[in-house]
Amino acid sequence: MSEKLWDGRFTEGTDKLVERFTSSIDYDRKLYAYDIEGSIAHCTMLAKVGVLTDEERDTLIRGLEQVRGEIEAGEFRYTDSLEDIHMHIESRLAEVVGRVAQKLHTARSRNDQVALDIRMYLRAETRYVISALRSLRKALADLAEKQMGVILPGYTHTQRAQPVLLSHHLMAYYEMFTRDMARFEDCLKRINVMPLGSAALAGTTYPIDRHHTAELLDFPEVSANSMDSVADRDFAVEFMAGASLCMVHLSRISEEFILWSTSEFAFIEISDAFTTGSSIMPQKKNPDVCELVRGKTGRVLGDLMALLTLMKSLPMAYNRDMQEDKEPLFDAVDTLKMCVDVYARMLPHVRFRADVMEKATATGFLNATDMADYLVTKGMPFRQAHGVVGRAVSVALSQGKELHELSLEALRGFSDLISDDLFAFLTTEQMVNRRRSFGGTASENVGQAIAAAHKALEGEK
């Protein structure tokens, strides 16, 4: 006799290559714990509504628990001929408890079963990601607090632009990851919906109580349309879109850390525990963690694209295509988790070289905007001031000097509104601390932003 659970109408056995081709057991075995928990809830509900006796329920639950034990002990046998984790568990259950196992699948289909398992899996993983992002944000806020007072050039177009606090720069990432976390919290609401009982697509003739199943599995909501329940994976697309954005944010901080750890920048040094050496060049200390996070961003964006493309144009309701949702989803989840975790761990091990950063603020005309602002305080319209300073920059450049290295006499040649109070106006600290507009880089603002972050983090506990 065949071990398949669906071959009543078949007269020929499945081709071996087709078995290999259609099998998903290599990866969907990851869902075993959710599958068993879902089945236990399902038969508990079936007993409550009288479809199963209490005795049958208890036998099934005991059998399911034994199967779980076998899987966890590594004693479970996997085979392509049983396709997926759902079939494996049910088939082993039959060996363990006998004929009563055939009743477990009453009022259920693999279509709603797999939808349930994925939602339970993704719900747990999303909660993990949320707490990991909280740790990452905490690490950033702590670092920003510790580095308070350090000034570095802020860049636009990767060209030195205006001086900013390092803490302000770090808190920019705090903001990005805060939004990422909010996206995951929001998408969790749509993941956390219970699809079981939708059966193959149309619902079921048995008098089931889906709300009871939902209660048993701690779902606040039951899906409203049986076809939609088995047909869509939009909740997974949302998660992966959130994961993609979060990875894009991580790739940007990675790119900066890679640049900053070059000898050309030398703004940071990443500790030995988070870097690796070269097999041929003894002097090397490479920022591999950052590079890998930057690289892995591509995988997650690809995973999102794979799922979107998979779902595009699928007719209602379930289609076997959808079995292909799991590998990209699992990959995106595993990759994101690892990247967020490794960053939260690495951040305290990054040494910021305040001396090099401050030195870098002294060149590159970072005070040009402020010199224009100075002229504005003396009554000159901004556009005109912009032109005056532009001419001063051009002259300074030709002499290999910075603006503040020109003599007062030379500066007055550009505008007689300039007097010797200009030099104090152009110190780096002054430039930073004058930017007190809400969200600006002044120490006072950044200190408040950090305090607000700590307060928010406390409140999330």
Q: Which two tokens stand for residue 100?
A: 């009563």
By CB under 6 A, the count of residues binding ligand ARG is 9
270 versus 317: smaller Cβ distance to ligand ARG: 317
Burial of 128 (0-12, 13-18, 19+ CB in 10 A): middle
Q: Say which amino acid occupies 214.
A: A
- Choosing from 39, 59, 111, 297, the residue that interacts with ligand ARG (CB under 6 A) is 111
| Other Cβ atoms within 10 Å of 31 Cβ, number | 24
* 166 near ligand ARG (CB under 6 A): no
31 versus 150: smaller Cβ distance to ligand ARG: 31
CA distance linking residue 446 with residue 299, whole number of Å: 35
- Choosing from 35, 84, 180, 370, the residue that interacts with ligand ARG (CB under 6 A) is 84
Alpha-carbon distances of 8 from 106, 110, 235, 270, rounded to whole Å: 17, 17, 35, 63
**CB 37, min distance to ligand ARG, A:** 17
Q: Is 214 in contact with 38 (CB distance < 8 Å)?
A: no
Residues in Cβ contact with 45 at an 8 Å cutoff, skipping those fewer than 6 apart: 208, 209, 210, 212, 213, 216
**CB 136, min distance to ligand ARG, A:** 32
DSSP for 420-449 reads: TTHHHHTSHHHHHHT--STT---HHHHHHH
286 versus 319: smaller Cβ distance to ligand ARG: 319
CA distance linking residue 188 with residue 182, whole number of Å: 10
* 120 near ligand ARG (CB under 6 A): no
321 versus 429: smaller Cβ distance to ligand ARG: 321
| Residue ranges in 8-27 that form contacts with ligand ARG under rule CB under 6 A | 24
> Which residue stretch of 110-118, 130-138, 175-183, 345-353 sits at the interface with ligand ARG (rule: CB under 6 A)?
110-118
* 114 near ligand ARG (CB under 6 A): yes
| Residue ranges in 167-206 that form contacts with ligand ARG under rule CB under 6 A | none
Give 360's Cβ-side CA count (13 Å radius).
25
Active-site amino acid positions: 157, 278
* 147 near ligand ARG (CB under 6 A): no
- Choosing from 261, 323, 415, 445, the residue that interacts with ligand ARG (CB under 6 A) is 323
| Residue ranges in 282-321 that form contacts with ligand ARG under rule CB under 6 A | 320
Residues at the contact surface with ligand ARG, assessed by CB under 6 A: 24, 28, 84, 110-111, 114, 320, 322-323
